[in-house]
Amino acid sequence: NAGVTQTPKFQVLKTGQSMTLQCAQDMNHNSMYWYRQDPGMGLRLIYYSASEGTTDKGEVPNGYNVSRLNKREFSLRLESAAPSQTSVYFCASSEALVSSDQETQYFGPGTRLLVL
Amino acid sequence: DQQVKQNSPSLSVQEGRISILNCDYTNSMFDYFLWYKKYPAEGPTFLISISSIKDKNEDGRFTVFLNKSAKHLSLHIVPSQPGDSAVYFCAAIRAQKLVFGQGTRLTINP
């Protein structure tokens, strides 16, 4: 079991370029999430998918789009990257949306994105 | 509006001593609280949790205490080991989402 995998590990973009961050999980989880982590800010939820075919906005969705391609894969797209999107991006998955401390979220290793 | 706050960015503790990491929250409607541990270049991993109806939960060297009247929780690690050096995030569950604190970097010195 690889758990949650993310590609790429590191990316440098110029302002205005687009890119897609890929995430896949092999735990047969229903719910998947995208977070960003900035210094001094903790992890903030960008978008999430409660189940295959559904996506919803989190706390900081502006400038991003997502696609739940199938049960395994959840991608995050930056259509026109901005320096403010420089961050570390984490994908996570869980059996279901967290309604108690029994539904643990499992995180990928992160993608470090630098927008110049 | 930072609903979950970890006011200490870093903490340094001697090996074998107790490490105490603190977390404050503002929303009294949080149902559960969790602690995650993060090593460099890795994603966070779940460590321990507590329900809002309890005041203590213990798992080996790790104990989480919840003081609802003060809206405060703490993570105690006893005894501290070098492998405990990591960033620790406090998180709360509300409306089926996790709300994270800023994290505290714990360094265990030999």
| pLDDT tens, residue order, chain B (110 aa) | 679 999 999 999 999 999 999 999 998 888 899 999 999 999 999 999 999 999 999 999 999 999 999 999 999 999 999 999 999 999 998 888 899 999 999 999 99
> Do A114 and A12 contact (CB within 8 A), yes or no?
yes
Contact residues of A toward B, CB < 8 A:
4, 40-45, 48, 50, 58, 90, 92, 97-101, 104-110
- Measured in whole angstroms, the distance separating CA A98 from the mean position of its chain's CA atoms is 16
Considering CB atoms only, which of B31, B43, B102 is closest to A107?
Answer: B43
Contacts of A40 in chain B (CB under 8 A): 9, 102
Note the pLDDT of residue B28.
86
Give the other-Cβ count within 10 Å of B3's Cβ: 15
Does B101 reach chain A within 8 Å, measured CB to CB? yes
Closest CA to A76 of A95, A99, A92: A92
Note the pLDDT of residue B100.
94
pLDDT one-digit tens code per residue, A6-20: 999 999 999 999 999
DSSP string, A46-101: EEEESSTT--EE-S--TT-EEEE-SSSBEEEEESS--GGG-EEEEEEEESSS-SST
Contacts of A100 in chain B (CB under 8 A): 31-32, 51, 93
> Do A62 and A45 contact (CB within 8 A), yes or no?
no
CB contact under 8 A, B32 and A90: no
pLDDT one-digit tens code per residue, A38-48: 988 889 999 99
Give the other-Cβ count within 10 Å of A76's Cβ: 22
